[in-house]
Structure 1
Amino acid sequence: MDTEQAYVWRLQNFVIGEHILRPRPENPTPLKACAISACGNFAVLGTAGGWIERFNLQSGISRGSYLDRPKESAHDGEVVGVACDSTNTLMISAGYHGDIKVWDFKGRDLKSRWEIGCTVVKIVYNRLNGLLATVTDDLVIRLYDVMALRMVRKFEGHTDRITDVCFSEDGKWLLSSSMDGSLRIWDVILARQIDAIHVDVAISALSLSPNMDVLATTHVDQNGVYLWVNRSIFSGASSVDSFASGKEVVSVRLPSISSMDGSQTEDPDEPVTDNSVSKDASVSATFIKQIPELVTLSLLPKSQWQSLINLDIIKVRNKPIEPPKKPEKAPFFLPSAPSLSGEISFTPGEANGYNDAKGNEVEKNDRKLDMPSSAFLQLLHSSAEMKDFSAFTEYIKGLSPSALDMELRMLQIIDDENLEELNGKPEMITIELLLDYFVHEISYRNNFEFIQAVIRLFLKIHGETIRCHPKLQYKAKKLLEIQSNIWQKIDTMFQQTRCMVTFLSNSQF
């Protein structure tokens, strides 16, 4: 706004590019419009003085200006908008005084022009069907066929300034918003209004997703983006009239910020306090428990939970060529064990008295008997008693893949000849608790992809032990039954979603 240059941004790393584009540096005026060609190599800029210039985005070099001779500019007044077609053949520009001009993109010659008759506020060009939508100050939306150079549609209905318009991906719908608080959907082919809603706060901008399933809107004096979902995707209805309101304007409330109560909306005057944040967190946790069909992911890096599956391959690949050599002198810094939590834990050194090997062995065994159980076992047993495994899940999510593998391998039962003696072993009890933990987490679909990876590693280590013990077999069958039901529902859901996409062409918000 009110700048005499255009900035190039790189979306890969969200930083400003190396080029700053300055059209007509000898007589600069503020920029008012910009567009990027379909090939992505060129940018077309329009200024408040009626100047239009084309730049190469890779080099930042000017590739010429568009002039309506004998005048020394493209338009007499401000350039309201510019657009490029899909084949870099035509460039369309609109002037504030109501003149639309079509230019040869490469040669920069004026091919045709037409007058609208009133002030142009905004233009939107659809590259798929070649239609140009113009918004004027008489509150009328006009559609022009750029190739035929004539008006093909005219939509009226808004009673206040039109703030934004956008085409659907297939070009069959045109959505428009106005300061009168209305959002209207027009059928381009049938040349009629098919739906209209009214909200309390006027819409300032809107955008429809390429799949036509979500509409994003921003509102006057509102922080945030509001999302509207396409109802027909979830119903499977093929008739637009079953959802559309036609010429009638339906009043609706803004989308709610709460996942529990759809009638609760955000109050912009209400301050955000710690109590409200904690209330939202508790509501979110309750919501997940009340709807077990909801699949939640762990949000861990993909490499972390995938490493659990391929630990054997990673260990073979990272196996040292030579055995580690013992340092001649003790290191100045104490060695510490790596951890994802950030807490410093020193690696245990060898016992004193290297000359007396037998004495050292007795001392190590005594320490092993007095050593308390690990945090892994403590959290697992305490979570099982409280029937709340959230703390245990957060702990194992913070472990590295190798550390979690070590914790599971510490529970291996080597001697499985006497089944009666094994029932009271701590390792057997812990394996049973882990099976109960997996059943609980899978039932609620919490941390879904991470738990699936842990289950695979667990069965790989303790599968033979589970096969030999009837009590563990019963718990494993229960886990298998729940797994099968959940995956069947997920597969059914994806199949229904794929089928519903076929109704997008006849869907309605």
Structure 2
Amino acid sequence: MSSICLTIRSSFLTFFLSTPILAEIRERDWCNVVTCHMDTAQAYVWRLQNFVIGEHILTPSPENQTAVKACAISACGNFAVIGTAGGWVERFNLQSGISRGSYVDMSESRSCAHDGEVVGVACDSTNTLMTSAGYNGDIKVWDFKGRELKSRWEIGCPVVKIVYHRSNGLLATVADDLVIRLFDVVALRMVRKFEGHADRVTDMCFSEDGKWLLSSSMDGSLRIWDVILARQIDAIKVDVSVTALSLSPNMDVLATTHVDQNGVYLWVNQAMFSGASGFDSYGSGKAVVSVKLPSVSSKEDSEECRDPDKPVVNHSQFQDSSRLYRQIPDLVTLSLLPKSQWQSLINLDIIKARNKPIEPPKKPEKAPFFLPSIPSLSGEVLFKASDSSNQETGTKADEVGKTAKGPGSPESDFLKQLHSSAQMNDCRFNTLLSVFDGSFYLYLEYFSAFTDYAKGLSSSTLDMELRMLQIIDDDDEQEPEVRPELHSIELLLEYFIHEISCRDNFEFIQALISLFLKIHGETIRRQSKLQEKASRLLEIQSSLWQSVDKLFQSARCMVAFLSNSQF
């Protein structure tokens, strides 16, 4: 672990932190953090809740005091065990700071726990056993309460680091021979041995469930060992050696620090996010994958690595309305809209009938007699203008209307978004087809801008926009040039076909299709061109629903099986 500068209160004393130990169980009662510092003969206690140093300083009792090299907190949070460079191991009460006895091996040449430096101490989950490791290669298991030696192992070479997992009772040790050994402190025997590192091992950590052991080395490698299978399941090599590592309790993120690097690097667990069925699909065994650390000044797609024969495409022009899309096969993506928003599209008639007022609205009072007014359908008062201004305004409005309203021209923002999205995406898709070959697959979202616009509208507004396209006096086999509404209905069918094929915004599109067919179902039945689109929509919808329903049935069977199981 890299040294961390720690200043105590008024910065008169500055120590370099060596090993911090934390226990969360007594965070609100008394000090729950113990730290030992470089070349310091005392261990310090801290209150993590208030981020202050505690009132006690843990000092070992021998007269010839040596630097504290290791510390640990018991599972109950009441005791701290510290080991020194002189081989002394002592237990302290964290609440009072009083010594509660030392661990002494009578077989040693002097009265101490180890003949050499203590490199690590650990306590089990029930305060039954305490384990200590010495630099001379001896690992000893003690009775926690009685402080008597129960067992010892001789590795044969100096031990440099130990890591203990309280749930499974396994102690991982690494020595100067670069071999990682796992000991069962309850059964008092060695159970695993892992080899693979070519340089000094800098850090180790267990996963939360105790099934994985992660280790890093100065050779730049980071290896993951399966404790149950007794083999290496993955390994990577970085350009800057790892100095410390820690795996999150959920096993989804790994944090590492590196030599001469100020930042903390985060690694994502592919076994949880890649959607792979099993870890063996990408477990590399003893093969090491080289990975470079990310850098702020890194240059992507350099000129040297670029293929001169391959056409260069400016992707920035496609970033406004389209994006590279990756979706898990056989699944659908929801729109994440509020449930009431898309459900109201289906039950809009019921909502309108329920909200209909019992009494008709009252008309506003008439204006004074000296203001000329004309009746209106909405009940609002309209003031009558002069005849000359009426004629001029009417003539200009007719000219503007004739100019603006051409065949198939959209009249609302809803239709403008629909037509512009269709034209823009058709143009871009044809451009991509002419640039990329068949081996490069680029997925573009059609109508993405239109989908975002429709999701922002209320249910009543969507209903009104769809009803504005309704054809009341339609004849069979009309051309889109005669009735522009038919072209908009055809575009909506193409939009539904595309969105269902993409399996995106699933529940919102289903509700929108239900409302669309309720309004325009009769028009689609009369037009053969629309019937072809509707048949294609039905085919894709049926295929998609069969796959989704199969997933639902599998989930129901699994839930029913687990509910009826007897544990």
- Matched ranges for 1:16-95 at <5 A: 22=8, 27=13, 29-39=15-25, 41=27, 43-48=32-37, 49=40, 50-55=42-47, 57=49, 59-60=50-51, 65=56, 67-70=58-61, 76-77=66-67, 82=72, 85=75, 87-88=76-77, 91=80
How far apart, in 1, do the equivalents of 2:317 and 2:90 lie? 55
Specify whether residues 481 and 280 from structure 1 end up closer, same or farther in structure 2 by C-alpha distance, changes over 3 A only: same
How far apart, in 2, do the equivalents of 1:214 and 1:61 lie? 29
The answer to which of 203-212 and 214-223 deviates more is: 214-223
Q: CA deviation at 1:481?
A: 3.5
How far apart, in 2, do the equivalents of 1:203 and 1:498 lie? 48
Larger gyration radius, structure 1 or structure 2: 2
How far apart, in 1, do the equivalents of 2:221 and 2:16 lie? 32
How far apart, in 1, do the equivalents of 2:78 and 2:189 lie? 19
The answer to which of 361-370 and 456-465 deviates more is: 361-370
How far apart, in 1, do the equivalents of 2:226 and 2:63 lie? 40
Would the aligned equivalents of 1:304 and 1:400 in 2 still touch at CA under 8 Å? no
Q: Which runs of 5+ in 2 are unaligned?
A: 104-120, 122-131, 137-157, 307-311, 365-379, 430-443, 559-567
What is residue 9 of structure 1 aligned with on the other side?
none
Amino acid at match of 2:452: K
Match of 1:229 among 270, 276, 301: 270
Identity among equivalent pairs (%): 34
Q: Does 1:3 align with 2:15?
A: no
How far apart, in 2, do the equivalents of 1:256 and 1:481 lie? 48
What is residue 376 of structure 2 aligned with on the other side?
none
TM-score (structure 1 length as normaliser): 0.60
Specify whether residues 399 and 186 from structure 1 end up closer, same or farther in structure 2 by C-alpha distance, changes over 3 A only: closer
Specify whether residues 184 and 402 from structure 1 end up closer, same or farther in structure 2 by C-alpha distance, changes over 3 A only: closer
Q: Does 1:201 align with 2:193?
A: no
How far apart, in 2, do the equivalents of 1:180 and 1:228 lie? 22
Q: Does 1:430 align with 2:488?
A: yes
Give me the CA root mean square deviation. 6.0
How far apart, in 1, do the equivalents of 2:289 and 2:79 lie? 41
State the SS of the aligned residue for 1:469. helix
Specify whether residues 456 and 90 from structure 1 end up closer, same or farther in structure 2 by C-alpha distance, changes over 3 A only: farther
How far apart, in 1, do the equivalents of 2:317 and 2:166 lie? 44
What is residue 460 of structure 1 aligned with on the other side?
515
How far apart, in 2, do the equivalents of 1:23 and 1:436 lie? 69
Q: Does 1:165 align with 2:212?
A: no
How many residue pairs get matched?
Answer: 435
What is residue 175 of structure 1 aligned with on the other side?
214
Q: CA deviation at 1:422?
A: 7.0
- Matched ranges for 1:331-346 at <5 A: none
Would the aligned equivalents of 2:330 and 2:547 in 1 still touch at CA under 8 Å? no
How far apart, in 2, do the equivalents of 1:159 and 1:64 lie? 44
Q: CA deviation at 1:46?
A: 0.7
Would the aligned equivalents of 1:81 and 1:123 in 2 still touch at CA under 8 Å? no
Q: CA deviation at 1:491?
A: 6.8
What is residue 501 of structure 2 aligned with on the other side?
443
Amino acid at match of 2:47: F
What is residue 342 of structure 1 aligned with on the other side?
none
Q: Which runs of 5+ in 1 are unaligned?
A: 6-21, 258-265, 327-350, 501-509
How far apart, in 1, do the equivalents of 2:204 and 2:464 lie? 61
Q: CA deviation at 1:281?
A: 9.5
How far apart, in 1, do the equivalents of 2:90 and 2:324 lie? 55
How far apart, in 2, do the equivalents of 1:467 and 1:441 lie? 23
Amino acid at match of 2:536: K
- Matched ranges for 1:320-331 at <5 A: none
Specify whether residues 392 and 426 from structure 1 end up closer, same or farther in structure 2 by C-alpha distance, changes over 3 A only: same
What do the CA deviations read for 1:157-201 (whole angstroms, capped 9, x no partner)?
4231223322133213312121224344445457x5445646363
Amino acid at match of 1:355: K
Would the aligned equivalents of 1:78 and 1:96 in 2 still touch at CA under 8 Å? yes
- Matched ranges for 1:238-277 at <5 A: 245=285, 249-254=286-291, 270=299
Would the aligned equivalents of 1:182 and 1:196 in 2 still touch at CA under 8 Å? no
How far apart, in 2, do the equivalents of 1:293 and 1:278 lie? 29
How far apart, in 2, do the equivalents of 1:459 and 1:383 lie? 22
TM-score (structure 2 length as normaliser): 0.55
State the SS of the aligned residue for 1:432. helix
Q: CA deviation at 1:405?
A: 5.7
Q: Does 1:354 align with 2:354?
A: no
